[in-house]
Structure 1
Amino acid sequence: MDLDRSFVIREGDLRILNPFDADKLATLGRAIRLRPDDTLLDLCSGKGELLCTWARAHGVRGTGVDISTVFTAAARRRAVELAVADRVRFVHDDAAGYLHPVPVDVAACLGASWIGGGVTGTIDILARALRPGGMLLVGEPYWLREPPDQETVVDCHATVRDDFHDLPGLVHRIQAHGWEVVEMVLADRDSWDRYAAAHWLTLRRWLDAHPDDDLAGRFRQELTEDPLRHVRHRREYLGWGVFALLRR
């Protein structure tokens, strides 16, 4: 059980594996009014930046779960680096099936709603771990503008237009599922650019070092096509944000 090697290579030296920068992640931690010793569960925790930086800034405690052995090891190193290894732990496991032993104050899944087959299914998975009155954090894409054609839809990581909602539609979907949206922090063009463009530099340097690898042809094509997909479509049509939810 592990993440495909191509994903691990592509994320390279990134610490935050979604279109947030460090300032937005810090803003989110302040916005939801974290308190010392709040307990968190972060599903698909990646390299652990959310838990580690919030443990240092707010004194929270938490568990991160990720299917990638490489990301989990990086998260544990980050916890040591930030001197919070006594406050956070990272588990290599399938987040979709993970059962946390005790209820938590905050349960999060940022940018991996595939674990529940979409936003409402992911909310249901997170809610299993939540104490009464606790908060969910869900990171989810949405349409900034109506995509004009199927090419735009595909370039924005969707199969069909209805894979994503517009922002009002996403909020309505969450409300209709029984949850209030009580805070949100949204990516902007700059944070999207920083996330997307970091992949291109990583791929170029990896290709220079591994020209004969089995993935080289696939990555050469991606390095040619992905910058155009991003500037033509993703930064114009696709938004992304984290939404804080309380049960109605």
Structure 2
Amino acid sequence: MDLPRIFTIRESRHRIHNPIDEPKLDLLGRVIPLDAGTSLLDLACGSGEMLCRWARDHGVIGTGVDLSSVFTASARDRAAEFGVTDRVTFVQADAAGYVADTPVDITACIGATWIGGGLDGTIELLERSLRPGGLLLVGEPFWRRDPPDQETIEACHATTKADFRDLPGLVAHFGELGWDLVQMVLADQDSWDRYVAAQWFNIREWLDVNPGDEMAGQMRDELHTAPVTYVRYEREYLGWGVFVLKKR
């Protein structure tokens, strides 16, 4: 089992596979805060940037799990580049249902809550690997503005408006689930731009090298439509953040 190829084409040069940029990722590591020896399990870790950076900058140890063989290979390369291969391990596997052998200080799923069938299920999954009193990090979208119609909803990767909450509703929901929100770092439109616009560059670069590939037509169509869709809908209506939770 592996991640569909379209994702690795679209995000081939991404270090971070969500709309939190490097300064915000570093900020998140400072506001938690992190100490040397803090253990972390990162589910759907992508290319492992968070775990590798925090191992280098704060002495964190831990494991990242991701379905993509391409991304996990990139994560191992990054760990070697940062000199932290003795502190971090990356596993190519389905993160859905993955539970650590020993409870850890921090569990995280940054922007892939489908692994638990949605936000609630992912929080339940992450809690299974978390020591009592530990921190749970989850990345989740929310409505920045009320979507006016179904076209806007679908352009923001939702089926119905109820698929996402607004920010007050999301924060309230954490409490309903029995968790205190103790920190958060939110994407802004610039960090969204850096994440999404880099996809267009990756696609165009790939098309230039692979014009006869069986996926070239699909990727060409995406490059034709995605920029306008993004600036018209996603950039204006969809928010995203990393939320740090502690069990009540």
Question: Deviating runs (4+, > 2 A) in structure 1?
Answer: none
CA offset at residue 99 of structure 1? 2.0
Are 1:193 and 2:156 counterparts? no
In structure 1, what residue type is equivalent to 2:40? L
Alignment of 1:58-207 (within 5 A): 58-207=58-207
CA offset at residue 172 of structure 1? 1.1
> CA offsets per residue over residues 163-219 of structure 1, 9 Å max, x none?
100001111111101101000000000000000100001111111111111111111
**C-alpha distance in structure 1 between counterparts of 2:120 and 2:4, whole Å:** 25
> CA offsets per residue over residues 220-246 of structure 1, 9 Å max, x none?
111011001110011100000000000
Aligned residues: 248
TM-score by length of 2: 0.99
In structure 2, what residue type is equivalent to 1:78? R
CA RMSD, Structure 1 to Structure 2 (Å): 0.6
**C-alpha distance in structure 2 between counterparts of 1:143 and 1:97, whole Å:** 28
Contact 2:41/2:62 (<8 A) preserved: yes
In structure 2, what residue type is equivalent to 1:15? R
**C-alpha distance in structure 1 between counterparts of 2:122 and 2:182, whole Å:** 18
Contact 2:99/2:125 (<8 A) preserved: no
**C-alpha distance in structure 2 between counterparts of 1:137 and 1:79, whole Å:** 21
**C-alpha distance in structure 1 between counterparts of 2:16 and 2:197, whole Å:** 13
**C-alpha distance in structure 1 between counterparts of 2:18 and 2:221, whole Å:** 22
Contact 2:39/2:105 (<8 A) preserved: yes
SS at match of 1:14: coil
In structure 2, what residue type is equivalent to 1:139? G
CA offset at residue 140 of structure 1? 0.2
**C-alpha distance in structure 2 between counterparts of 1:196 and 1:55, whole Å:** 26
Gaps of 5+ in 1: none
SS at match of 1:99: coil
Residue of structure 2 equivalent to 1:225: 225
Gaps of 5+ in 2: none
**C-alpha distance in structure 2 between counterparts of 1:111 and 1:180, whole Å:** 19
**C-alpha distance in structure 1 between counterparts of 2:178 and 2:137, whole Å:** 15
- The percent identity for this pair of structures is 61
